[in-house]
Chains A and B, each alone.
Chain A
């Protein structure tokens, strides 16, 4: 079974600074997706960034970028120029790439609460 581990229950950052959230996962599969989701106080899940395991290039979305280390099974999220609106709970998630009954099922990490200080 796949597992996702976020070892930082809480993190804080000053506005305009950079913060990195950690995530490790365990899988025996070679083709999969990794995601970072943001859950603000409204509880609405928002996709931040996605990484396909077969791509060596790290995904970036504006101020958000990942450091994907497939051999180490590590998938960290870097938030640059942090803004007050980035304050939320962040979840790392894993999904199988191929079809079949497991396709699309997301396995989430425990979450990291990010606080942004003005």
Chain B
């Protein structure tokens, strides 16, 4: 149990275009999902906290107009990178916290974004 999926696993897009990354909790409901960014051999940096039915809370320094987050249901959150540029190339990871029970959050397998 407690599986989180991300789609796509890899995406290449041209500079100036937008790309959407989906995060789904497959076998549990999650009121809260988190989006992280990770550069090679570096730590995970929290970008935003996504709560179902409400606006996401962004960490300091994260451009909310560039990284649009929508948490429309208890099993799906999306991250849209708008007007992507090469510096947005990174590994994006989501995690989901169950509504009840466990204190852990469960991580998706990540999405590698390359902007050319």
Give the interface of A toward B (CB within 8 A). Answer: 33, 35, 42-47, 50, 89, 91, 95, 101, 104-111, 113
Contacts and interface: CB of A to CB of B under 8 A. Distances in A.
Nearest to B46: A105
B107 A44 contact: yes
14 contacts: A43-B38, A44-B107, A45-B44, A46-B107, A91-B44, A101-B49, A104-B32, A105-B46, A106-B46, A106-B95, A107-B46, A108-B44, A109-B43, A110-B43
B103 A108 contact: no
Interface residues of B, number: 21
A33 B103 contact: yes
Q: What are the 6 closest A-B residue pairs judged by CB atoms, nearest first?
A: A45-B107, A108-B43, A43-B110, A104-B97, A108-B44, A44-B109
Interface of B: 32, 34, 38, 41-46, 49, 57, 91, 93, 95, 97, 103-105, 107, 109-110
B109 A43 contact: yes
Nearest to B51: A101
B43 A105 contact: no
Contact of A111 (B42, B49, B103): B42
Contacts of B109: 42-44
A26 to B, nearest CB: 16
* Residue from A46, A50, A104, A105 with most neighbouring chain B CB atoms (10 Å): A104
B76 to A, nearest CB: 18
Given A108-B43, A110-B42, A44 B110 contact: yes
